[in-house]
Structure 1
Amino acid sequence: MTTGRPIACVLGVVIRDGEILLIRRANAPDRGKWGFPGGKIERGETVLAAAAREVAEETGIATEAVAVLTAVDVFEKDQAGRLQRHFVLIAVRCRWIAGEPIAADDALEAGWWPIDRFAELDLSVDVEAVARGAILAG
């Protein structure tokens, strides 16, 4: 399925007590890999509202989305190398309010991970760089 325009998505970056909230993705792109909760921005929804909604849908965690951190391009290609979809993933810093992660919606697993344990995980594109940027941003 080829789409003509980039697809706008959010990533909810939640840090609590030195750990970062990650999910193992159930769907493409990056099925089976670990990354931030996230998904497509709905029509009429702000970037911040989309990030808080996606975190809640995929993990059950309540957050307050506070700031855009960065954006990452992800290009999904077919076996012949032809571009099928272009995602623009907007990483949003979210403040934890309440709850413990329970995998739901598009997540196979969800949990808190210390940044120094990222090497143990099969990560989605740019997860470690975005996480380190979020930590530096405070």
Structure 2
Amino acid sequence: MPSSPQAASSAILERDGRFLLIRRMNPPSADLFAFPGGRAEPGETPDETALREFFEETGVTARNPVLFATYDLMSEKEGGSHFFLSVFRVEADADTEVVAADDAADPGWYTIEEIRSLPVPPSVLECAERLAVEIKAGY
């Protein structure tokens, strides 16, 4: 019987057409580049999870989370992980320094062209592609 999914959230911070990604150090997405995020703690709302995880992994205090996408992610492996992922757009002060922490490494700002050539989960590429179109269109 399939297990009920674990709640997880991630946060997208965009500056000048570049997206903040970190390299995951731990499973389920070890060595993939992704938006900062992670599992919900008991009693947290999805937006609270996104802001907490973003801070834990980057040292940046984000604000104004706006739900952008949701994903029901099932691991291919037998007995693998099952997550319900909420992805938020967030804002942060432009002069804030990003520092990798927790299970994150190598934070960087990437264009959509660069993201297409990085090892990223499909959900990250899909969100970045959608956002790049919206940014170009002036949303």
Q: What are the Cα deviations for residues 70-108 of structure 1, in whole angstroms up to 9, with x where unaligned?
A: 111221243xxx242211111011012252221110112
Q: TM-score, normalised by structure 2?
A: 0.86
CA contact (8 A) 2:7 2:46 kept: no
CA contact (8 A) 1:23 1:36 kept: yes
Give the CA deviation at 1:3. Answer: 7.5
Give the CA deviation at 1:34. Answer: 0.5
Matched, 1:93 2:89: yes
More strand by share: 1
Which amino acid counterpart does residue 21 of structure 2 have in structure 1?
Answer: L
Kindly report structure 1 stretches of 4+ aligned residues shifted beyond 6 Å: none
Structure 2 Cα separation of the partners of residues 125 and 3 of structure 1: 22
The alignment yields a C-alpha RMSD, in angstroms, of: 2.0
Which amino acid counterpart does residue 60 of structure 1 have in structure 2?
Answer: G
Structure 2 Cα separation of the partners of residues 85 and 3 of structure 1: 10
Unaligned runs of 5+ in 2: none
CA contact (8 A) 1:3 1:84 kept: no
1:1-138 equivalence runs, <5 A: 4-78=3-77, 82-97=78-93, 99-135=96-132, 136=134, 138=139
10-19 or 40-49: which moved more?
Answer: 40-49
User: In structure 2, the residue corresponding to 1:53 is in which secondary structure?
Assistant: helix
Q: 1:65 to 1:39 in 2, by over 3 A?
A: farther
Aligned residue pair count:
134
User: In structure 1, the residue corresponding to 2:62 is in which secondary structure?
Assistant: strand
Q: TM-score, normalised by structure 1?
A: 0.86
Which amino acid counterpart does residue 59 of structure 1 have in structure 2?
Answer: T
Structure 1 Cα separation of the partners of residues 32 and 121 of structure 2: 5
Unaligned runs of 5+ in 1: none
